Chain A
Amino acid sequence: MEPFDLTLIWAGIIAFGVIMYVLMDGFDLGVGILFPLAPDEESRDLMMNSVAPVWDGNETWLVLGGAGLLAAFPMVYTIMLPALYIGVFLMLAGLIFRGIAFEFRFKANRSRYLWNIAFAGGSTVAAFAQGVVVGKYIEGIQVADGVFVGGPLDFLTPFTVLTGLGLVAGYALLGSTWTIMKTEGTTQAWAYRITPWLLGAVLAVFLLISIWTPSIDPAAYERWFSTIHVIWVLPALALFCAWKIWRSVRQGREGVPFVATMGMFVFTYLGLLVSKWPYVVPPDITLYDAASAWESQLFLLLGLLFVLPFVLIYTAWTYWVFRGKVRAGDGYH
């Protein structure tokens, strides 16, 4: 009946979807987070224009992730969402506000400052909420008989606040290095200036999390310090990327900082997966406990395999069409 392990394939697909989402929506959320700090209104125009053609496509990965989870790992969906109820609401509200701001800021004149607030606030709240999700995932969730049994504010702990802030800083770093790549002149100079500070903030949070994690998650400690030592290559690579960002910013390179930031995210993400594998709802629920029926996984996989290549090609094409610097004037008004 089950000729191959679909659960594993689905785990790969979801993991891929999540990192795609984090990298791609990450930089445009980051641009929103940095919005209030930008030197002037013209820079804001440029920054918004630089992500305008792609943000909507970036966000679709989130929808795919949500729907894919329900279909392939329903238990993750039905435990994580109740556990993060308020966080999910805040994230959705944030995403809606910034989505609407994208559409209306360029068409607004007098009310433009309101849309600026909606854009920056929405982006920051959404990023923070996603960081909290990561933190909660590391901390583990209170489950009995396959349902969440904690309280509505359980998700808000000092640790998850820290990861929330960490992700805000991380997305901001993606945003600033993206801005370096996509702009010139004063905007770019400003982005060069703030990048080292953001990098410092991200590293500080990483350090704190690394020190803190073993005390809340002994299993992860066990994994890192006693069994498999090859995995240390992941944090090493992440640190290498961090160094690369710092150096390339000093050298005034344009593309390298962004690529290195993405690298840093990827290696950190892999590190996180490694510490939790094979648990999808830590501390006790594994991939296989959470999986839906084999037939259901197969049924959706067929459709997805058909659609995914189109989505990837189209995504690549959009980025290709809008490559290069954004300049004042090629916006919308």
Chain B
Amino acid sequence: MELDPVLISRIQFAFVVSFHAIFPVFTIGLASFIAFLETLAFRTGNPIYTRLSKFWIKVFAVVFGMGVVSGIVMSFQFGTNWSNFAQATANFMGPVLSYEVVTAFFLEAAFLGILLFGRNKVPAGVYLFASFMVAIGTFISSFWILSANSWMHTPAGTEMENGMHQVVSWSAAIFNDSFWYRFAHMGLASFLTGSFVVAAVSAWFLLKGREVEANRRALSMCLWLLLIIAPAQLWVGDLHGLNTLEHQPTKVAAMEGNWETSGNVPLLLFAWPDQEAQTNHFEVGIPGLASLILKHDVEGEVPGISAVPRDEQPPVAIVFWSFRVMVGLGMLMIAFAVAGLLLRPGGRYWQKRWFLKGLVPMGVAPFIAVLAGWFVTEIGRVPWLVYGQMTQAEGVTPSLSGGVALFSLIGYMLVYAVVFTAGVYYLTRLFEAGLEADDAEQAHDDAERPKRPFSAAHVPLESTGGQA
């Protein structure tokens, strides 16, 4: 069988970027949570906030470290696997991607060291400032990377000249038509991730009756925040979808599983899309609802997939189902946020065991939703790399053979399996040690050193062999 370098490169890119994305999406939310805790500690002087902050900074350090390690791989992917694309778009993508790295650099260089190791070495105000700068830095990082990605979906501000895109308007290119939707949706997704992870871990501590006062407060904060951002995500997601309808109607058609352009289109709850036959099996839907959502009119006309030739159609089933996973989890998140509100009276939200037990697995829900969302976005634009201008087959590295691509794909999978196992295992050890670990650590602070994310945490890797 002939191995297709385009297909394998796609899988490889999807794999490494998915792996990378789960770390920043958490650190972006967590950094803001830490800055918030530091603000509370600064203003109230209540040591409980400092205690919480210290614990979550340790978690932050590990996750950030994994984000950096996997990010280094990303910055070489465009050259190794998509060199034609990199060459054609370098005038825009080059500076914008570099700005992400430069921002991360700056943040790390100046403020991360202080956040991780400087608590007793700098004045409280400076420390607070550093925590804010780290949070802002993560946002600036995602600003650039999402701008680059959005430009590929809705290219603007550039003109073709000698086979390369020349930037004619930086502002039009950076703030392209889908940018703000994507930035808002991703920002909220990061906050949802941060909130649900903190809520899940706090709930787990509460179930064990550990550090009840601190964890109760952390949980309460998360639930208040969720009450705002979970519904907001639904709203922003809807706007995002309407924007996509305008620019990439085929993608929306795939999300809706709608094959023929028509009016009065149902919102499908279940279906088995069949690309071969260009139709769905086992449809269950609510009549007219898709038309209503997308066109605000039950009779509104919704584009169909078969409007474009087969070789320009994305794989419908993946897009269709990923979209349902994301939206379904989004609804579940809203449900938890509302339940949290209803359980407020009498503090039942931190005492009802069923609620806490439900929250614990919700800690992974946002990661799944985020990946599902990216799958919708990225697979829904197949076969385009730069929408309407360059296909994946045109963008791939011409010298790359399928075998070599497969070699590196398997290689990355193996490497990441080790990294991920070690990292996640260590995180679980951190959670087990909990907030209490802090007491044993006070003495260590002097031997600390900057620039080493993981060393901000002192918990040994293995559970036995306790001399660490």
> Contacting A64 at CB < 8 Å: which of B71, B86, B102, B467?
B102
Is B364 interfacial (CB 8 A cutoff)? no
Q: Which residues of A contact B83 (CB under 8 A)?
A: 77-79, 81-82, 147-148
A52-B449, A96-B419 known; A68 vs B98 contact (CB < 8 Å): yes
Q: Smallest Cβ distance from B79 to chain A, in angstroms?
A: 3
Tell me the bound Cα distance from A86 to B403 in angstroms: 11
> Contacting B90 at CB < 8 Å: which of A71, A83, A102, A303?
A71
Q: Smallest Cβ distance from B16 to chain A, in angstroms?
A: 10
Instruction: Please classify the interface of chain B as helix (H, G, I), strand (E, B), loop, or mixed, using the class held by over half of its residues.
Output: helix
Is A196 interfacial (CB 8 A cutoff)? no
**Cβ–Cβ contact B90 & A296, under 8 A:** yes
**Cβ–Cβ contact A103 & B80, under 8 A:** no
**Cβ–Cβ contact B110 & A310, under 8 A:** yes
**Cβ–Cβ contact A111 & B73, under 8 A:** no
Q: Total number of A-B contacts with CB less than 8 angstroms?
A: 229
**Cβ–Cβ contact B451 & A57, under 8 A:** yes
**Cβ–Cβ contact A296 & B94, under 8 A:** yes
Q: Which residues of B contact A52 (CB under 8 A)?
A: 449, 452, 455
Q: Smallest Cβ distance from A207 to chain B, in angstroms?
A: 33
> Contacting B97 at CB < 8 Å: which of A67, A104, A295, A321?
A67
Selected A-B contacts with CB under 8 Å, 14 pairs: A52-B452, A60-B108, A64-B101, A72-B94, A82-B400, A100-B419, A103-B454, A108-B460, A110-B462, A152-B404, A296-B91, A300-B95, A300-B99, A332-B458
**Cβ–Cβ contact A299 & B95, under 8 A:** yes
**Cβ–Cβ contact B404 & A86, under 8 A:** yes
A81-B79, A107-B468 known; A300 vs B94 contact (CB < 8 Å): yes
Tell me the bound Cα distance from A295 to B90 in angstroms: 12
Is A283 interfacial (CB 8 A cutoff)? no
- The interface-forming segment of B209-217, B286-294, B407-415 is B407-415
Is B92 interfacial (CB 8 A cutoff)? yes
> Contacting A54 at CB < 8 Å: which of B97, B451, B465?
B451
**Cβ–Cβ contact B461 & A107, under 8 A:** yes
- The interface-forming segment of A87-95, A245-253, A259-267 is A87-95
Is B53 interfacial (CB 8 A cutoff)? no
Q: Smallest Cβ distance from A42 to chain B, in angstroms?
A: 15
**Cβ–Cβ contact A70 & B467, under 8 A:** no
Q: Which residues of A contact B460 (CB under 8 A)?
A: 107-109
Tell me the bound Cα distance from A79 to B90 in angstroms: 13
Tell me the bound Cα distance from A322 to B78 in angstroms: 37
Q: Which residues of A contact B468 (CB under 8 A)?
A: 107, 109, 333
Interface members, chain B 376-427 (any A CB < 8 Å): 397-401, 403-404, 407-408, 411-412, 415, 418-419, 422-423, 426
**Cβ–Cβ contact B93 & A70, under 8 A:** yes
**Cβ–Cβ contact B467 & A333, under 8 A:** yes
**Cβ–Cβ contact A85 & B400, under 8 A:** yes
> What 1/0 flags go to B241-275 for Cβ under 8 Å of A?
00000000000000000000000000000000000
> Contacting A300 at CB < 8 Å: which of B98, B418, B449?
B98
Is A75 interfacial (CB 8 A cutoff)? yes
**Cβ–Cβ contact B92 & A89, under 8 A:** no
**Cβ–Cβ contact B75 & A109, under 8 A:** no
Closest residue of B by beta carbon distance from A298: B95
Closest residue of B by beta carbon distance from A90: B411
Tell me the bound Cα distance from A304 to B101 in angstroms: 10
**Cβ–Cβ contact A85 & B102, under 8 A:** no
> Contacting A86 at CB < 8 Å: which of B69, B164, B408, B422?
B408
Tell me the bound Cα distance from A114 to B95 in angstroms: 40
**Cβ–Cβ contact A85 & B404, under 8 A:** yes
Tell me the bound Cα distance from A327 to B364 in angstroms: 43
Q: Smallest Cβ distance from B412 to chain A, in angstroms?
A: 8
Tell me the bound Cα distance from A299 to B99 in angstroms: 10
**Cβ–Cβ contact B422 & A74, under 8 A:** no
A82-B83, A303-B99 known; A111 vs B72 contact (CB < 8 Å): no
> Contacting A88 at CB < 8 Å: which of B69, B80, B422?
B80
Q: Which residues of A contact B450 (CB under 8 A)?
A: 53, 318, 321
Q: Which residues of A contact B400 (CB under 8 A)?
A: 82, 85, 152
Closest residue of A by beta carbon distance from B168: A295
Q: Smallest Cβ distance from B458 to chain A, in angstroms?
A: 8
Is B306 interfacial (CB 8 A cutoff)? no
Q: Which residues of B contact A (CB under 8 A)?
A: 65, 68-69, 71-73, 75-76, 78-80, 83-84, 86-87, 90-95, 97-102, 105-106, 108-110, 113, 164, 166-167, 170, 397-401, 403-404, 407-408, 411-412, 415, 418-419, 422-423, 426, 447, 449-455, 458-462, 464-465, 467-468
Q: Smallest Cβ distance from B75 to chain A, in angstroms?
A: 5
**Cβ–Cβ contact A293 & B91, under 8 A:** yes
Q: Smallest Cβ distance from B442 to chain A, in angstroms?
A: 16
Is A268 interfacial (CB 8 A cutoff)? no
Closest residue of B by beta carbon distance from A107: B461
Q: Which residues of A contact B455 (CB under 8 A)?
A: 52, 103, 106, 332
Q: Which residues of B contact A318 (CB under 8 A)?
A: 113, 450-451
> Told that A82-B83, A147-B84, A332-B447 touch, could you supply 5 new A-B pairs with CB distance under 8 A?
A63-B75, A93-B412, A96-B415, A107-B426, A152-B400
Q: Smallest Cβ distance from B97 to chain A, in angstroms?
A: 6
A82-B79, A82-B83 known; A330 vs B447 contact (CB < 8 Å): yes
A57-B451, A71-B94, A92-B76 known; A147 vs B398 contact (CB < 8 Å): yes
**Cβ–Cβ contact A304 & B102, under 8 A:** yes
Q: Which residues of B contact A63 (CB under 8 A)?
A: 71-72, 75, 101, 105
Q: Which residues of B contact A107 (CB under 8 A)?
A: 426, 454, 459-461, 468
> Contacting B399 at CB < 8 Å: which of A53, A82, A307?
A82
Q: Which residues of A contact B98 (CB under 8 A)?
A: 67-68, 70-71, 300, 303-304
**Cβ–Cβ contact A109 & B462, under 8 A:** yes
Tell me the bound Cα distance from A299 to B465 in angstroms: 54
Closest residue of B by beta carbon distance from A152: B404
Q: Which residues of A contact B462 (CB under 8 A)?
A: 108-111
Q: Smallest Cβ distance from B406 to chain A, in angstroms?
A: 11
Q: Smallest Cβ distance from B285 to chain A, in angstroms?
A: 46
Tell me the bound Cα distance from A64 to B97 in angstroms: 11
Q: Which residues of B contact A303 (CB under 8 A)?
A: 98-99, 102
Tell me the bound Cα distance from A215 to B197 in angstroms: 61
Is A97 interfacial (CB 8 A cutoff)? yes
Is A140 interfacial (CB 8 A cutoff)? no
